[in-house]
Structure 1
Amino acid sequence: MLFAVFLLLVSLDGIKSQFLVKTLPGLDGDLPFTLETGYIGVGASDDEQLFYYFIESEGNPKDDPLMIWLTGGPGCTSLSGLMFEIGPFTINYAISTLEEPILELVPYSWTKVANIIFLDQPAGSGFSYAKSPESYITNDTLSAKLAYSFLRKWLVDHPKFLSNPLYVGGDSYSGIMVPLIVQEIYNGNEIGEEPQMNIKGYAVGNPVTDTSGDYNSRIPFAHRMALLSDAIYQSAKENCGGEYLNVDPNNSLCIHALQAVDKCLERINSAQILEPVCDTSNTVRSNLSRRELRVFDKTSLDARLVPQVQKRWCRDDKDEYTAAWANRKDVREALHIHEEFNNIEWVRCNKSIQDSSSMENPSYTCNVPSVVGYHRHFADKKCRALVYNGDHDMLVSYLATLNWIQSLNLPVIDDWRPWFVDEQVAGYTMKYINGADYSLIYATVKGGGHTAPEYKPKECLNMFIRWLADDTLRKWWMVSHDQEKLVPQESARVSQGVMVRR
């Protein structure tokens, strides 16, 4: 195996650069974890330069799983997942300004138990870029192939992780991308591509899976959450036939019913229905979130041109704070961003990709409307899956996810029941199997939004650790009352209410 990997160093011609990052602007002292950043070239002539952040497990990097993590969009940076969902640091809004964002460590990072590659993909997302305009033109299937190519090259460059259990993870629109990449890995292993990957499964949160089904589930979800009356819901259901995405323009009864629905939901925050809708006149919104791959000043932001932070914080402000941080010259130097990116502005989500459906010549085509068939195919393989939803997310509701899972017709081994953190209900879960080699854990996260870890980080870390450890959420609840019993059985200790491996 090692000889084959050595040969691949010659045969895989990607331009690779990697650097250890010891400190980060905005965070005092040396980083208490190992952070590596770098670029790997993929595609024709390595035109697409994909940027990544790699954080070694804070537990046992040699044996802990390796996971590649994707953020949705398409076109959103993986720094979003790192900073606001499952990574070890975030922005301290209480003491930050846009001129000087301050970072802080967080206790519930998934890097406590896993080595995680946070990948900016496709080119045009985050710090990833292309060397030619043509290379920005892509779609779901091509993007998945390039991500697979990235992973092959990364593993060749990091052979010590070849034997670690490998998982592919992501949330939101990455619910489309993750199954495509997993399939690429299975295909590559089956035809003997090197390096062989030790793929064990995948994890997807609040996942876009079937674009039509996901959208059509929003109205039933709104009804269940008491946002729609029985009469309004029944009118929409009967007059639209359950189809709310592709509406017949001649169906006046359906259109009228949907107008009533819209009136009820127009001031509801779809990402987390309990949170207020942000008042844009009372936030730090600026021009930072707009990019068409245009020129950006190479120096730090000019404080005179940036709106001052308002007293009332809005969750959407994270876009502006993150952009202010990522566009600083000292931050780019610390992360070792390629010089070719100097004249490009960083944004959390690249609108020229994300809004491609409204563009005359889109750079990104969403050409895979459903990946339910991929999930069904994985049920015949040796594979473990974790699928979860924040139960207050209306963008990709738990109903949408349950609908496609139930369509797989898998045997249920553990029916709907609560799971617990700190002896409190953290959500509800089910377990499906298909023979001895396949299992799928589904979990809701109580109070979670889009996406769940941003709203419920402690609960989600517990969920992730339990799934990695024994594929069930029940067992850890039963032993968590008895810490003396827990230590010898699970080779673990309890720290801050989560399981941490020795």
Structure 2
Amino acid sequence: MTEHVRPSCTTGKLRILIRSSLFSYLILPLVLVQLCSNLASAGSPVKFLPGFEGPLPFELETGYIGVDESEDVQLFYYFVKSESSPETDPLVLWLTGGNCCTSFSGLAFEIGPIKFEQVLYHGTLPKLLSNPYSWTKVASIIFVDLPVASGFSYARTAKASQSTVLQACNQAYEFLRKWLVDHPEFISSPVYIGGDSYSGITVPIVTQIISDGNEVGIEPHIDLKGYLLGNPTTTPGDGNYAIQFAHGMGLISDELYESLKLSCKGEYQNIDPSNALCLQNMEAYNQASNHFSASFVLLYFEKLVTIQLLSNIDTAHILEPDCPYASPKPNNLFIGRRSTIQVFCKKTRELKILELAAPFTCRMDGYRLVYHWANDESVQEALHVRKGSIGEWIRCNCRYPYIRNIGNSLPYHANLSIRGYRSLIYSGDHDMIVPHFGTQAWIKSLNYSIIDDWRQWILRGQVAGYTRTYANKMTFATVKARNSHFPLLQCRI
């Protein structure tokens, strides 16, 4: 497919926005190139996807939008139109976490309308299925591959392949503005910015930049309503709450927990090398939390068999086995004998005891399947990927410099709340990477009044989690037995 080049703008205007005094320690220069009225549409419809049986039951568009002054950064996106009322439903810009991961993770593994059939790879193109819990039932979503070099996005020059968090956030704003010009039917849509995990840093910044642009009259005006985040990285101290989480979930003993609290005084990440007792307790914690034993009674060929299973803990979801991380070279995943957990996963699938095995199926299996799918020539042709623009597709491509020059997004939350934007912060209550204890701690530090105190929220007659609503339009919710990457939230935004 030939590369689409946008007409250059001859009436561009350089504008530099300086943050309010609240952010005087951060100066974010925004290179805002005025948009031309004669820009052609950047996207192409996708009616069929290899691996999905029949025509897609939703409207999908893919394409590229060039950002920065010379458009040397070409950002690839997947746009799924709301399956309800796209004329009035919200428009969500989704930024996948993981620091350098493709937005296809959000589309196929989190909140999008498709998912992979969870089977072991057998050499054929992986099969795609419909996701009945897709957020596109109630919202139109743009999944953008950001930063540059993630997914199918690419840079035309070596310099353009390097970026910082602030550059990526500015590029997200420019992308959204240009996308709205290309799609004028959505200019009046209520807009939300969303993401999870590491996007807890970028989403509030992008939301802030959009708000700043609206205030000074940058066109097109974006009808920004708020943002939503799942298990979001927010402050440098988020990881300190893993100890409290591990104790609360029964992964470490009361005695070890109390000793850790006394010796480390709440700091478990940057430990004083001279604090021997804290270091000793952390060593004991690491040994205790790295492995656990569990017995499962299986109906195996009509006989009850107890399997003693030793497995690493998956800190992203402590109920899941820590399956080997997804690799573009599956044959190198194992050295020597296959792990006990991998054999267990395979046997449960063969026996089709899905309900019993569901908590222990290997989430990484889907991540392995996507390499075979996304690197298939027919798939890239269907997605309108530009030939030769990238080499091998990698789900999380950290090969290029990406400087994380912002490590605390809490001030952005405070400023956005003051400006009246809505926010939904949700935490899968089995996520140990960004534990809900830490998220609740930074929310409480904002000192907002509680409007609706801790209560259950119900899905299909069952308790799905707990929620609390604060002043300044902030809502916190837990999602029971989930992590942020598998949310069950599907309420109208």
The bucket for the TM-score relative to the shorter chain is 0.7 to 0.9
Partner of 2:392: 345
> What is the distance in 2 between the residues matched to 1:443 and 1:178?
18
Q: Tell me how far 1:238 sits from its aligned partner.
A: 1.7
Q: Are residues 1:132 and 2:157 paired?
A: yes
2:358 aligned with 1:316: no
Distance 1:285 1:182, change over 3 A: closer
- Cα deviation for residue 327 of structure 1 reads 0.3
Q: Does 1:106 align with 2:137?
A: no
Report Cα offsets for 1:335-372 as digits up to 9, x if no partner: 0001232x51111111325xxxxxxxxx0111111111
Residue identity opposite 2:395 in structure 1: R
Question: Is the contact between residue 289 and residue 320 of structure 1 (CA under 8 Å) also seen in structure 2?
Answer: no
1:88 alignment partner AA: P
> Which residue is 1:390 aligned to?
428
Equivalent of 2:234 in 177, 202, 209: 209
Give the 3-state SS of the residue equivalent to 1:40 in structure 2.
strand
**CA separation in 2, counterparts of 1:258 and 1:337?**
47
Structure 1 letter corresponding to 2:289: L
Native 8 Å contact 2:45 2:59 kept in 1: yes
RMSD: 2.3
After TM superposition, the structure 1 = structure 2 runs for residues 293-372 of structure 1, keeping only pairs within 5 Å, are 314-341=362-389, 343-352=390-399, 363-372=401-410
2:475 pairs, out of 420, 432, 441, with: 441
Residue aligning to 1:231: 255
CA contact (8 A) 1:140 1:366 kept: yes
Match of 1:146, as an amino acid? Q
- The count of aligned residue pairs is 418
SS, match of residue 70 in structure 2: helix
User: Within the alignment, does 1:66 sit opposite 2:91 as a pair?
Assistant: yes
Contact kept, 8 Å, 2:65 with 2:76, in 1: the verdict is yes
Give 1:90-489 correspondences, 5 Å limit: 90-94=115-119, 97-210=122-235, 212-266=236-290, 267-278=312-323, 280=324, 285-287=327-329, 314-341=362-389, 343-352=390-399, 363-434=401-472, 439-453=473-487, 459-461=488-490, 464-465=491-492, 468=493
User: What is the aligned partner in structure 2 of residue 48 from structure 1?
Assistant: 73
Where does the alignment leave 5 or more consecutive residues of structure 2 unmatched?
1-10, 13-32, 291-311, 333-344, 350-360
The offset of 1:318, in angstroms, is 1.8
Look up the SS of the partner of 1:168 in the other structure.
strand
Give the letter aligned to residue 199 of structure 1: L
Q: Partner letter of residue 275 of structure 1?
A: E
Letter in 1 for 2:376: R
Aligned in 2, Cα 1:284/1:348: closer, same or farther, shift over 3 Å? closer
Give the 3 Å change call, closer, same or farther, for CA 41–63 of structure 1 in structure 2.
same
Structure 1 residue ranges without an equivalent (≥5): 1-5, 291-308, 354-362, 454-458, 469-502
CA contact (8 A) 2:97 2:199 kept: yes
Structure 2 match to 1:302: none
| Structure 2 Cα separation of the partners of residues 235 and 10 of structure 1 | 60
Matching of residues 28-39 of structure 1 within 5 Å: 28-39=53-64
Query: Residue type matched to 1:107 in 2?
Result: P
Matched to 2:456, the amino acid is P
Q: How much does 1:96 deviate?
A: 5.6
Is the Cα–Cα contact under 8 Å of residues 285 and 317 in structure 1 kept in the other structure?
A: no
Deviation at 1:237, TM superposition (A): 1.7
Residue 364 of structure 2 aligns to a residue in which SS?
helix
Which protein has the bigger helix share? 1
Normalised TM-score (structure 2): 0.81
Identity of aligned residues (%): 47
The aligned amino acid for 1:164 is S
> Which residue of the partner structure matches residue 23 of structure 2?
none
Q: Distance in 2 between matches of 1:285 and 1:51?
A: 22
For 1:339, the aligned partner's letter is K
Give me the whole-angstrom Cα distance separating, in 2, the residues matched to 1:392 and 1:130.
Answer: 37
Asked whether the equivalents of residues 42 and 182 of structure 2 are also in contact (C-alpha less than 8 Å), the reply is: no
How many Å separate the matches in 2 of 1:136 and 1:98?
Answer: 33
**2-side partners of 1:234 and 1:47: how far apart?**
54
Q: Which amino acid aligns with 1:269?
A: D
* Letter of the 2:432 counterpart: M
* TM-aligned CA deviation for residue 99 of structure 1: 2.9
Partner secondary structure for residue 320 of structure 1: helix
Cα drift, residue 134 of structure 1 = 1.4
User: Partners in 1 of 2:160 and 2:37 — Cα distance?
Assistant: 19
How far the C-alpha of 1:250 sits from its partner, in A, is 2.2
Q: Please give the per-residue CA displacement for 1:267-288, whole angstroms capped at 9, x wherever unaligned.
A: 321011111222x4xx985527
CA distance in 1, matches of 2:69, 2:40: 12
Q: For residue 49 of structure 2, what is the amino acid of its counterpart?
A: L
Question: Is the CA contact (8 Å cut-off) linking 1:141 and 1:367 kept in structure 2?
Answer: yes
Answer whether contact 1:445 1:452 (CA < 8 A) is retained. Answer: no
In structure 2, relative to structure 1, the CA distance for the partners of 1:240 and 1:310 (3 Å cut) is: same
Shift of the 77–351 alpha-carbon distance from structure 1 to 2, 3 Å rule, reads same
1:45 match: secondary structure: coil
Equivalent-residue separation in structure 2 for 1:12 and 1:234 (angstroms): 64
Does the 8 Å CA contact 1:16/1:38 hold for their aligned counterparts?
Answer: no
Change (3 A) 1:450 1:59: closer
Q: TM-score of the superposition, structure 1-length normalised?
A: 0.79
**Taking structure 1 as reference, are residues 95 and 242 closer, same or farther at Cα in structure 2, changes over 3 Å only?**
closer
What is the alpha-carbon distance in structure 2 between the residues aligned to residue 289 and residue 50 of structure 1? 32
Structure 2 Cα separation of the partners of residues 11 and 106 of structure 1: 38
CA–CA separation in structure 1 for the residues paired with 2:122 and 2:189: 41
Distance 1:394 1:175, change over 3 A: same
Structure 1 residues 276 and 53: CA distance shift in structure 2, 3 A: same
Residue of structure 1 in register with 2:341 after alignment:
none
Give the SS at the match of 1:385: strand
Q: Deviations over 1:22-73 (max 9, x none)?
A: 1000012111111000000012411111000000000011111101001011
Contact 2:39 2:182 (8 Å CA) reproduced: no
